Amino acid sequence: MRAHPAEYELFAPGGLSAVLSLLAQAPGAWLPIAGGTDVMVQYSAGNLRARRLVSIWNLPELRRIEVLSDEMQIGAGCTYTDLREHGVVSREFALLSSAARWTGGIANQNRGTLGGNIVNASPAADSLPALLVYEAELLLVSVRGERRVPYRDFHVGYRRTQIAPDELIRTICLKRRFSEYYAQARKVGARNAQAIAKVSLAGLGRLADGVVEDIRLAMGSVAPVPLRLTETERIVKGRRVDPVLVQLARKTAAAEVRPIDDIRSTARYRAAVAGNLVAEFLENMSTNGSIT
Amino acid sequence: MSESPQPVAKCEISLTVNGQVVTVCVHAMDRLLDVLRHELGLAGTKEGCGEGECGSCSVLMDGMLVNSCLIPALQASGTNIVTIEGLASDGRLRVLQQAFLECGGAQCGICTPGMILAAHHLLRKNPQPTVEEIREGLSGNLCRCTGYMQIFEAVAEAGRREATT
């Protein structure tokens, strides 16, 4: 049943500190809304439990991208378009800019935010595998202060995160040390735009003399949370990429994922594709990704 | 979180729509789409899916393409909105609109206003897009009549005509 607007409050205090004060006064009572690409969908369908919303759209404190010598600091309110149009993101964090390009269509990219993608915590979200392999850190902020947490620990279960009811993500921090890595993002779905992934992969790796020096693999839509494939990484690291290793990695990845059957795909298909994407990644890296 | 307060009062919101400053008395959570259609009588903006998937409610907000079904009215306060009604001036179609007509880019018409706004947004950023770029620029706009080819052709044609005028 469609929601009735008279049943919902929406405030736009206009500044970060005012928003944080409001959240602190009644923790859990206020739902932050940024570009609305998730919240408004739930609202329109009558599925939004929150009755009080606070707008964090376009807060200047959350819309900045800062490039430090060793780190990128992306404000949580930056949109996919902001990410796509940022030179350093395109050059050094190609997996994130690919994900931004595949999220929704242009209109949703103009409104959807990176912070929103993280707190919405869908295991199928396009940008989250990239954040896992770049080993992002999140700066969480509340009236109590700031804390910095590793992104890999942020999702604690299906659509559950570490964020406290009075907190917002302020910044997504990425170390600038991956520009020399071979990077490949893949989204398998009905189509890239406007479709939710059946399986997605973000992969980073570095070869030295044909041997895998470092590898980071993460997948979407294959577990209750965006999943880092630590077991597959472990068996690949330090070894030469050859057909035997590719086969072993394919099998390990297919066994490591924990997919389900749903309207978009089946567990069996997803596990097979997960293995194939990892195999494809290794083959492409060994063809294109050697660093001399 | 589920505590249900008294019905929330309406508020006054001012915004610029197609160059005119307007003030409406609406609920903060009314959708911009409904404000345009019901409060301002601008029925050119269509509702398709109502969940940001189909693009038929596309408008420009401060120059950015957005789905008006996903914008709470309060977030549109103080912004500059352009709808399909704001594209033609003095009864004269834009080059882009004329190209849609001539190339058969419109059939039933429900997607057309959104398609044209998305194409307009694309051409402003990229006046001579490739077919790939046109496909990407319009990927958030669904059409169930044309099969898209005539739409892509219309956008490419508009780009060519603008370049030669």
Q: Which among A269, A121, A134 has a CA at the least distance from the CA of A189?
A: A269
Average pLDDT over residues A252-256: 96
Q: Is residue B1 part of a domain?
A: no
Select the residue from B61, B67, B148 to test the A interface by mutation, using most A Cβ atoms within 10 A: B67
Q: Are B54 and B111 members of one domain?
A: no
Q: Are B73 and B19 members of one domain?
A: yes
Predicted confidence band of residue B8 (pLDDT cuts 50, 70, 90):
very high
Q: Is residue A257 part of a domain?
A: yes
Q: Are A132 and A157 members of one domain?
A: yes
pTM higher than 0.90, yes or no? yes
B69: DSSP letter? G
Domain end, chosen from B35, B63, B86, is at B86
**The length of chain A, given as a count of residues:** 292
Q: Is residue A221 part of a domain?
A: yes
Q: Is residue A209 part of a domain?
A: yes
pLDDT at B141 over 80: yes
Q: Is residue A2 part of a domain?
A: no
Domain end, chosen from A138, A158, A175, is at A175
Number of domains within chain A: 3
Residue pairs spanning A and B at CB distance below 8 A = 119
pLDDT of residue A2: 78
Helix (H, G, I), strand (E, B) or coil at B15: strand
Average pLDDT over residues B137-159: 96
Q: Are A27 and A65 members of one domain?
A: no
Q: Are A84 and A36 members of one domain?
A: no
pLDDT at B67 over 80: yes
How many other CB atoms are found less than 10 A from the CB of residue A241? 22
Predicted confidence band of residue A194 (pLDDT cuts 50, 70, 90):
confident
Domain end, chosen from A134, A158, A175, is at A175
Domain end, chosen from B86, B105, B128, is at B86
pLDDT at B136 over 60: yes
pLDDT of residue A14: 87
Q: Are B63 and B106 members of one domain?
A: no
Tell which wins on pLDDT, A291 or A48: A48
Q: E strand or H helix at B109, and its extent?
A: none
Query: What average pLDDT does chain B have?
Result: 95
Q: Are B141 and B116 members of one domain?
A: yes
Q: Is residue B20 part of a domain?
A: yes
Q: Are B82 and B134 members of one domain?
A: no
pLDDT at B19 over 50: yes
Q: Give the C-alpha separation, A252 to B14, whole Å.
A: 58
Do A216 and A282 meet the contact criterion of CB atoms below 8 Å apart?
no
Q: At what angle do helices B112-125 and B95-103 cross, to 10 degrees?
A: 130
pLDDT of residue A195: 82
Q: Are B37 and B69 members of one domain?
A: yes
Q: Is residue A131 part of a domain?
A: yes
pLDDT at B4 over 80: no
pLDDT at A192 over 80: no
Q: Which among A184, A185, A205, A181 has a CA at the least distance from the CA of A197?
A: A185
Average pLDDT over residues A30-49: 96
Q: Is residue A149 part of a domain?
A: yes
Domain end, chosen from B86, B112, B140, is at B86
How many other CB atoms are found less than 10 A from the CB of residue A177? 12
Give percent of chain B with pLDDT exceeding 90.
92
- Residues B96-129 pLDDT 10s: 999 999 999 999 999 999 999 999 999 999 999 9
Q: Is residue B5 part of a domain?
A: no
Average pLDDT over residues A93-98: 96
| Number of helices and strands in chain B (H, E) | 6, 5
CB of B74 less than 8 A from some CB of A: yes
**A254: CATH:** 3.30.390.50
| Cβ-defined contact of A33 to B72 (cutoff 8 Å) | yes
Range of the domain at B159: 95-164
Q: Are B41 and B104 members of one domain?
A: no
Q: Give the C-alpha separation, A266 to B21, whole Å.
A: 52
Q: Are A168 and A199 members of one domain?
A: no
Q: Is residue B122 part of a domain?
A: yes
Q: Is residue B6 part of a domain?
A: no
Range of the domain at A186: 182-288
For tokens 């596309």, the residue is B58
CB of B51 less than 8 A from some CB of A: yes
Q: Are B77 and B110 members of one domain?
A: no
Q: Is residue B2 part of a domain?
A: no
Select the residue from B139, B141, B143, B148 to test the A interface by mutation, using most A Cβ atoms within 10 A: B139
Pairing, β A145-150 against β A137-142? antiparallel
CA A126 to chain centre: 6
From chain B, pick out residues whose CB is under 8 angstroms from the CB of A11. 28
Tell which wins on pLDDT, A291 or A262: A262
Query: What average pLDDT does chain A have?
Result: 94
Q: Are A148 and A252 members of one domain?
A: no
Average pLDDT over residues B134-147: 96
pLDDT of residue A291: 47
Q: Are A198 and A163 members of one domain?
A: no
Q: Is residue B4 part of a domain?
A: no
| Cβ-defined contact of B52 to A37 (cutoff 8 Å) | yes
As given in the structure block, the two tokens for residue A41 are 């969908």
**B113: CATH:** 1.10.150.120
**B22: CATH:** 3.10.20.30
Q: Under 8 Å CB-to-CB from B106, ≥6 apart: which residues? A: B100, B112, B115, B146
Q: Are B65 and B105 members of one domain?
A: no
Q: SS3 helix, strand, coil % of chain B, rounded to 5? A: 40, 20, 45
Predicted confidence band of residue A292 (pLDDT cuts 50, 70, 90):
very low
Q: Are B28 and B79 members of one domain?
A: yes
Q: Are A234 and A188 members of one domain?
A: yes
Interface of A with B in 28-67 (CB under 8 A): 28-29, 31, 33, 35-37, 40-41, 43-45, 49-53, 55, 57
Q: Are B71 and B102 members of one domain?
A: no
Q: Give the C-alpha separation, A125 to A222, whole Å.
A: 11
pLDDT of residue A1: 61
A75: DSSP letter? E
Q: Give the C-alpha separation, A37 to A40, whole Å.
A: 6
Number of domains within chain B: 2
- Provide the CB-side half-sphere exposure for B13 (13 A, CA): 30
From chain A, pick out residues whose CB is under 8 angstroms from the CB of B7. 6-7
Q: Is residue B29 part of a domain?
A: yes
Do A98 and A129 meet the contact criterion of CB atoms below 8 Å apart?
no
